[in-house]
Amino acid sequence: MEFWKIFPPKEELLEWYAKNGDGQIRLVNAHLHTPYSFSAFTDISQALNMAVNENVKVAGINDFYSTDGYAEWAQACAERKIFPLFNIEYISLNRDDQAAGIKVNDPNNPGRTYLSGKGLSFPPKLEEPYASKLESVRYESNLQVQKMCAKLNEVLENSNAGFQLDFEDIKSGMTRGMVRERHLAKALRKKINAQFITAVEKQLFYKNLFGGKALKSEIGNFAAIENEIRGNLLKAGGGAFIPESPEAFLDMEMVCSIILNSGGIPTYPFLADDNNGNFTEFEAPKETVIEILRKRNICSVEFITTRNSIATLEEYAGYFNDNGFVVTFGTEHNTPAMEPIELFARNNTPLTELLLKINYEGAAITAAHQYLTATEGSGYLDEAGKPDLSKREYYTNLGKALIEYLIKN
């Protein structure tokens, strides 16, 4: 499918929108992981069928280190009249923050910084040397999990499990090429379910496997059990833990360069407030964060809304939106737990009209950026990665026109 041929030239598109746009604020989820990295979903169709049922009209694929799902995402979205956003996620390292002991958006590791790229080119493109840099990170990430799998098999042997895990089987049967730690936990949980029949047998085995620590979760709560497997065996201090190689992390500046070369908009994902109202050292106050992000040539931010209170979302998203940043929201769905596609704040609190508007307009700018990059070679950002804020309203309207056109035709 040649996705962009669905749409007329931009002048016709804007004329159509002037006649047919009805001013609705469409529901958006701009950050969804799929089985091309790790996901709560069994496949892309499941995710997008849920989006249809929940009236979400814009959906962004956002896998770790991978654009492999883009073609399937575009096709499946178009069939369901959902506008697709083409995104990606990286784990980078800011060595200055690391040296200063500053926790950024990883609450446990100073300097480690998650970054998203929003609105990448579709079909995907990436030139050298950036393509080789990305492939190197993908290789190192898989290698670390492969070593962890081997160490996990040693733990299983010492526990007289009677079975082993096969890394290549996991890679071919459970992934689309990128193997994550969560795949190991899922594979182990499924093996245990197959090996032992009764709940008591399973609980006894988990207690043995966890070094005498009883399983806390109900035996049928698969997501919770997989999290316990990770916490007891695969995280630091666990019997199968393998530290990530320094080669698995690219410098933050390099990640931003890769995103720009991919046609995307470098985006900072906020952790923002935790359950106790605390922020990392990097993320407060917001007035300091915005200046640092500008210096790092980042003009877009996102929030995983279920993490945060409504008050913080309105304060932070409103502030960054008012100061010219592209702001979007998502859910991730990169754990075994299945949540709604529609966005909610912490404690299942519905988003306010302000937040829905900010998210829709951020998605619209991203949509316009994708379209113009595909059809004209450049979009919202110039060659240096700077946005033309004087044309922000134009990009917003063009993006809304694209979204509405796909929905209504």
In a domain, 34, yes or no: yes
Task: State the total domains in the chain.
Answer: 2
Same structural domain, 383 and 311: yes
Question: In this structure, what token pair is assigned to residue 25?
Answer: 């604020």
Whichever domain contains 121, its CATH number is: 3.20.20.140
Same structural domain, 56 and 143: no
Same structural domain, 121 and 139: no
> Residue type at 89?
E
Dist. CA 188–CA 153, nearest whole Å = 10
Dist. CA 69–CA 114, nearest whole Å = 20
The single residue listed with the structure tokens 């190689």 is 245
Nearest to 70 by CA among 109, 104, 44: 44
Same structural domain, 323 and 395: yes
In a domain, 202, yes or no: yes
Picking from 218, 234, 250, the residue at the C-terminal end of a domain is 234
Same structural domain, 214 and 288: no
In a domain, 274, yes or no: yes
Same structural domain, 160 and 230: yes
Question: In this structure, what token pair is assigned to residue 54?
Answer: 């929940």
Same structural domain, 120 and 205: no
Question: In this structure, what token pair is assigned to residue 195?
Answer: 């090996």
**What pLDDT is recorded for position 247?**
79
In a domain, 189, yes or no: yes
Per-residue pLDDT of the chain (409 residues; tens, 9 = 90+): 599 999 999 999 999 999 999 899 999 999 999 999 989 899 999 999 999 999 999 999 999 999 999 999 999 999 999 999 999 999 999 999 999 999 999 998 899 999 999 999 999 999 999 999 999 999 999 999 999 999 999 999 999 999 999 999 999 998 888 899 999 999 999 999 999 999 999 999 999 999 999 999 999 999 999 999 999 999 989 999 998 887 778 999 999 999 999 999 999 999 999 999 999 999 999 999 999 999 999 999 999 999 999 999 999 999 999 999 999 999 999 888 899 999 999 999 999 999 999 999 999 999 999 999 999 999 999 989 999 999 999 999 999 999 999 999 9
Dist. CA 357–CA 169, nearest whole Å = 45
Q: Give me the domain span that covers residue 211.
A: 134-234
Dist. CA 63–CA 334, nearest whole Å = 9
Per-residue b/e over 351-374, b at no fewer than 16 CB within 10 Å? Answer: beeebbebbbbbbbbbbbbbbbbb
**What pLDDT is recorded for position 1?**
55
Same structural domain, 189 and 116: no
Rg (CA), the chain: 22
Same structural domain, 215 and 149: yes
Picking from 193, 216, 234, the residue at the C-terminal end of a domain is 234
* 259 within 8 A of 298, measured Cβ to Cβ: no
Distance of CA 57 to the CA centre of its chain: 18
* 98 within 8 A of 104, measured Cβ to Cβ: no
Same structural domain, 118 and 156: no
**What pLDDT is recorded for position 188?**
96
Same structural domain, 139 and 115: no
H/E element holding 86?
Answer: strand 83-93
Picking from 194, 219, 234, the residue at the C-terminal end of a domain is 234
**Residue 157 CB: number of other CB atoms within 10 A?**
12
Same structural domain, 119 and 140: no
- With 0-12 / 13-18 / 19 or more C-beta atoms within 10 angstroms meaning exposed / middle / buried, residue 295 is exposed
